[in-house]
């Protein structure tokens, strides 16, 4: 009897702790009042509409990209460090497989919190393979809470919502429960034929998703040592100007000592990955040119959204390793078709473009075949900084 009583006592205490933890972590705010939150590279942050929107301060500019944000974070050239002591506040969103459609949804979900009406989209040419983003990869970066907020946003034109709905229903077609939830949201907010049951299930799911976001992000903030401050620390006296030329020279000096192969890839990555791939990669992409892809439709959707919401966009076309892509059959003339098409689309929608593909053959701009190295980050930083400072 004593053992049974002890068991139930322990069980009650355990449940009490779980309930207390739930209420402690799911309530309150996700606003960290910390500009370092914005450049924190975390998929949990990226997937939480509340985490992003609550940390969009008056001076915060949204910068959207993909896996490049994970590379070079310990160097002085990555935005997390280059702007740490500068009066620049960025909200970066991006991990592997984030592409234009994910970012259109994020933008539409948080735009009503954007006082600084500017956005930067870092574009990677390999997004634009013929098939575009695949369903499984897209699903990895799909934010349910951002999709809800996007569709609830009454200022977004119905034509844009319909495009986003069709694309998501297609990409989620093999995703079971999530496909059903997406279709339910679309019935309510896009096609306006949702039933009473749809709406009740939506409200319940929204409450659950919100709690999950709060608990997950707060837990990961502690793990990632992102402190919550009483007063916003974004205003910094930064009288010392950024010397882009000196930074680039320093980056080249540091990274030049780490590369001794004909592709100018980091020796570590060359030895561990690319040396054994080199022969097999010859001509691998001979039938690609990055100029025919469903990704262009998603990019146009993103730019249409910017125009509809009076947000000024800048597209930064990231450099790739020109020597490697020449080797795989995607030579400069083919890649030029892609960058020219980006420029035409940007002109049509009034977007600025910073085309860094002109550095495809410059040593030490990318550390592998496409991720920025020191010199690459300096040029990206410079483009972001100048756009941020423009009136």
Per-residue pLDDT band for 10 (boundaries 50, 70, 90) equals very low
The total of structural domains in the chain comes to 2
Residue 184 CA: distances (Å) to CA of 27, 33, 145, 170: 27, 35, 14, 14
96 with 6, same domain: the answer is no
Give residue-wise pLDDT tens across range 255-313.
999 999 999 999 999 999 999 999 999 999 999 889 999 999 999 999 999 999 999 99
pTM, two decimals, is 0.91
Quick one: average pLDDT of 358-366?
97
Residues 133 and 21 in one domain: no
Contact assessment for residue 352 and residue 377, using Cβ atoms and an 8 Å cutoff: no
Give yes or no: residues 9 and 142 share one domain: no
Arithmetic mean of pLDDT, 18-43: 74
Q: Which among 19-23, 116-120, 233-237 has the top mean pLDDT? A: 116-120
pLDDT of residue 241: 86
DSSP state of 364: T
Q: Is the pLDDT of residue 1 over 60?
A: no
Are residue 25 and residue 37 in the same domain, yes or no? no
Of 49, 67, 63, the closest CA to residue 121 belongs to 63
Residue 166 domain boundaries: 31-228+252-390
Answer whether 367's CB lies under 8 Å from 266's CB.
Answer: yes
- The answer to whether residue 267 is domain-embedded is yes
pLDDT in the model for residue 245:
97
- Poorest-pLDDT segment among 25-29, 83-87, 181-185: 25-29
CB of 164 within 8 A of CB of 150?
Answer: yes
Task: Report residue 16's pLDDT band, with 50, 70 and 90 as the boundaries.
Answer: very low
Instruction: Indicate if 206 and 338 belong to the same structural domain.
Output: yes
Whole-number percent of the chain with pLDDT over 90: 88
Question: For residue 2, what are the CA distances in angstroms to 6, 7, 9, 16, 259?
Answer: 6, 8, 10, 21, 69
pLDDT at residue 4, as a whole number = 54
Q: Tell me, what DSSP letter sits at residue 76?
A: T
Residue 7 lies in a domain: yes
Stretch 81-86: mean pLDDT, rounded? 93
Split at pLDDT 50, 70, 90, the class of 237 is: confident
Is residue 24 scored above 70 in pLDDT?
Answer: no
What's residue 288's pLDDT? 87
Of 99, 57, 116, the residue nearest 312 (C-alpha)? 116
d(CA 59, CA 223): 27
Domain shared by 15 and 83, yes or no: no
Is residue 240 included in any domain, yes or no? no
Residue 223: inside a domain, yes or no? yes
89-93/118-123 β-pairing: unpaired
* pLDDT (tens digit per residue) in 109-156: 999 999 999 999 999 999 999 888 999 999 999 999 999 999 999 999
Does residue 247 lie within any of the structural domains? no
Do 17 and 41 reside in the same domain of the chain? no
What pLDDT is attached to residue 382? 98
Q: Are residue 217 and residue 158 in the same domain, yes or no? A: yes
Query: Looking at the structure, do residues 14 and 81 belong to the same domain, yes or no?
Result: no
Tokens of residue 161, six digits: 């919502």
Give dist(CA 146, CA 135) in Å, integer: 18
* pLDDT above 50 for 347: yes
Better-predicted residue by pLDDT, 219 or 14? 219
* C-alpha separations of 25 from 30, 55, 210, 318 in Å: 10, 17, 11, 38
- Predicted pLDDT of residue 336: 94
Please check whether residues 74 and 217 belong to one and the same domain: yes
Q: Are the C-beta atoms of residues 325 and 365 closer than 8 Å to each other? A: no
Residue 236 lies in a domain: no
Asked whether the beta carbons of 334 and 285 are under 8 A apart, the reply is no
**Helical H runs in the chain?**
2-26, 35-38, 43-46, 49-54, 79-82, 100-110, 135-140, 144-152, 158-171, 177-189, 196-223, 244-256, 267-269, 275-277, 295-308, 322-327, 332-349, 374-389
| pLDDT average, residue stretch 230-254 | 91
The pLDDT of residue 27 is: 53
102 domain residue, yes or no: yes
At 15 the pLDDT is 34
Task: Report the distance separating Cα 340 and Cα 221, nearest Å.
Answer: 41
Share of the chain above pLDDT 70, in %: 93
Residue 26 has pLDDT above 50, yes or no: no
- Secondary structure of 222-255 in HEC code, one letter for each residue: HHCCCCCCCCCCCCCCCCCCCCHHHHHHHHHHHH
* CA 15 to centroid of chain Cα atoms: 37
Question: Do residue 141 and residue 119 come from a single domain?
Answer: yes
Whether residue 318 is predicted with pLDDT greater than 60 in this model: the reply is yes
Domain membership of residue 235 (yes or no) is: no
**Residue 211 and residue 70 in one domain:** yes
């Amino acid at each position: 009897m004593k053992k049974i009583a002890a068991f139930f006592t322990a069980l009650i205490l355990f449940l009490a702790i779980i309930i207390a933890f739930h209420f402690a972590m799911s309530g309150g705010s996700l606003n960290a009042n910390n500009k370092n939150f914005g450049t924190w590279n975390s998929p949990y942050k990226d997937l939480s509409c509340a985490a992003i929107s609550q940390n969009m301060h008056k001076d915060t500019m949204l910068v959207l990209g993909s896996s490049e944000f994970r590379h070079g974070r310990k160097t002085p050239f990555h935005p997390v460090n280059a702007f740490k002591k500068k009066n620049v506040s960025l909200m970066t969103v991006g991990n592997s497989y984030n592409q234009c459609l994910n970012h259109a949804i994020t933008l539409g979900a948080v735009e009503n919190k954007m006082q600084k009406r500017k956005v930067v989209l870092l574009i990677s040419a390999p997004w634009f393979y013929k098939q575009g983003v695949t369903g499984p990869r897209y699903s990895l970066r799909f934010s349910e809470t951002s999709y809800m907020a996007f569709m609830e946003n009454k200022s977004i034109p119905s034509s844009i919502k319909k495009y986003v709905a069709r694309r998501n229903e297609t990409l989620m077609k093999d995703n079971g429960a999530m496909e059903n939830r997406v279709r339910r949201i679309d019935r309510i907010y896009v096609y306006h034929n949702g039933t009473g049951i749809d709406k009740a299930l939506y409200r319940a799911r929204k409450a659950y998703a919100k709690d999950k976001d709060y608990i997950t992000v707060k837990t990961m903030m502690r793990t990632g040592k992102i402190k919550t401050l009483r007063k916003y620390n974004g205003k910094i006296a930064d009288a010392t100007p950024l010397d882009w030329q000196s930074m680039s020279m320093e980056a080249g000096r540091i990274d030049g000592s780490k590369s001794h192969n004909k592709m100018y890839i980091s020796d570590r990555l060359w030895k561990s990955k690319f040396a054994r791939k080199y022969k097999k990669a010859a001509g691998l992409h001979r039938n690609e040119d990055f100029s025919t892809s469903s990704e262009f439709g998603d990019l146009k959707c993103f730019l249409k959204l910017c125009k509809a919401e009076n947000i000024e966009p800048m597209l930064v076309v990231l450099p790739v390793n020109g020597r490697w892509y020449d080797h795989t059959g995607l030579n400069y003339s083919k890649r030029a078709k892609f960058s020219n098409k980006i420029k035409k689309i940007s002109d049509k929608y009034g977007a600025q473009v910073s085309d860094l593909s002109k550095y495809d053959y410059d040593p030490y701009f990318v550390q592998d075949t496409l991720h920025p190295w020191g010199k690459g980050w300096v040029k990206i930083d410079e483009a972001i900084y100048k756009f941020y400072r423009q009136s």
